[in-house]
Amino acid sequence: MDASRTSPLTHDELNALVDGQLTAAQRAAAMARVADDPVAGETFKAWQDQREALRGLHGELLDEPIPDTLLAAVQRSTRERQALDPWWRWGGMAAGVLLAFAVGWTAHGQFGSMAPFAAGHAARASQAFVHQATLAHAAFAPEVRHPVEVGAAQQEHLVQWLSKRLGKPLKVPLLSSQGYELVGGRLLPGDGGARAQFMFQNAAGVRVTLYLGALDGSPVAGKPANAETAFRYSHDGPVPAFYWMDQGFGYAMSGPVAREELMRLAELVYQQL
């Protein structure tokens, strides 16, 4: 018997299967292996449900027409690129050297003018991050059978796995002093790479989630890339959240609780991480 047919699928192979990144032959082979592996089958089903849940949060946007302003911007960009193409072909290496000199001179003489752009970019990245955190909370906190991918009983495996995927040693904060115990966690996609979500629940069944992952490391207004940011409160998503950045990583504590309680939880997480 083919050893690849009997070996369990890795998480990378399952990700590729769920995301539709396999050829028809590869997908057929992977589905055959899933059928032979109950654990892989359950994971595959949970990831498919997760994907559909996330798509369903704003599914109505897929059917909306593209805004006229966006179409106009694309057309302008296309015309500008077409106008520049002959210059790049004719200029060749000399044009590249000239452009590099111009960029270097601008950066040296006018670096301060880039600060507002960098600050705006960082603000948009952090806002997108916390919005994704609240969407992930809304997608999985209501789940009864599959709220997490790996349960609290396998906490050591969960932490090792997520640490490897995020490229940073992680640990689960203890929130028992506030009445919350770990339910488990899962791996999620994000704009800057893999993200992790840890879920906690109190005796009343209320769930809060800690969402974390690497953010764009661009310096902000003269600050180093790994500078810390103060806690910020957001209530623009499905649930409120407190979020902050520390050493290039973003953290967001989300849940349907009062602002004061959420702040206490966020502070407790920050002290331990």
Same domain assignment for residues 232 and 137:
yes
Question: Is 131 contained in some domain?
Answer: yes
Same domain assignment for residues 134 and 255:
yes
Question: Is 39 contained in some domain?
Answer: yes
User: Is 77's pLDDT higher than 70?
Assistant: no
User: Is 200's pLDDT higher than 80?
Assistant: yes
User: Residue 154 is part of a domain; what is its CATH number?
Assistant: 3.30.200.100
Question: Is 104 contained in some domain?
Answer: no
Give the residues across from 190 on adjacent strands.
Answer: 193
Q: What digits encode the pLDDT tens for the residues 13-66?
A: 777 777 777 888 888 888 888 888 887 777 778 777 776 666 665 555 555 565
User: What pLDDT does residue 222 have?
Assistant: 40
Question: Is 76 contained in some domain?
Answer: no
Same domain assignment for residues 42 and 129:
no
User: Is 259's pLDDT higher than 50?
Assistant: yes
Domain that holds residue 259: 116-272
User: What pLDDT does residue 62 have?
Assistant: 54
Q: What digits encode the pLDDT tens for the residues 128-158?
A: 888 899 999 999 999 888 899 999 999 999 9
Same domain assignment for residues 144 and 57:
no
Tokens of 17: 């299967």
Question: Is 92 contained in some domain?
Answer: no
Same domain assignment for residues 128 and 54:
no
Tokens of 117: 């752009």
User: Is 181's pLDDT higher than 90?
Assistant: yes
Q: What is the pTM of this model?
A: 0.56
Least confident of 8-12, 67-71, 170-174, 204-208: 67-71
> What total number of domains does the chain contain?
2
Question: Is 124 contained in some domain?
Answer: yes
Same domain assignment for residues 164 and 233:
yes
Question: Is 185 contained in some domain?
Answer: yes
**SS3 labels along the chain:** CCHHHHCCCCHHHHHHHHCCCCCHHHHHHHHHHHHCCHHHHHHHHHHHHHHHHHHHHCHHHHHCCCCHHHHHHHHHHHHHHHHHHHHHHHHHHHHHHHHHHHHHHHHHHHHHHHHHHHHHHHHHHHHHHHHHHHHHHHHHCCCCCCCCCEEHHHHHHHHHHHHHHHCCCCCCCCCHHHCEEEEEEEEEEECCEEEEEEEEEECCCCEEEEEEEECCCCCECCECCCCCCCCEEECCCCCCEEEEEECCEEEEEECCCCHHHHHHHHHHHHHHC
Same domain assignment for residues 53 and 124:
no
Same domain assignment for residues 250 and 128:
yes
User: What pLDDT does residue 101 have?
Assistant: 44
User: What pLDDT does residue 89 have?
Assistant: 47
Same domain assignment for residues 57 and 181:
no
Question: Is 239 contained in some domain?
Answer: yes
Average pLDDT value for residue range 222-234: 63
Same domain assignment for residues 44 and 161:
no
Tokens of 194: 């893999």
Same domain assignment for residues 51 and 170:
no
Q: What is the CA radius of gyration of the chain?
A: 23
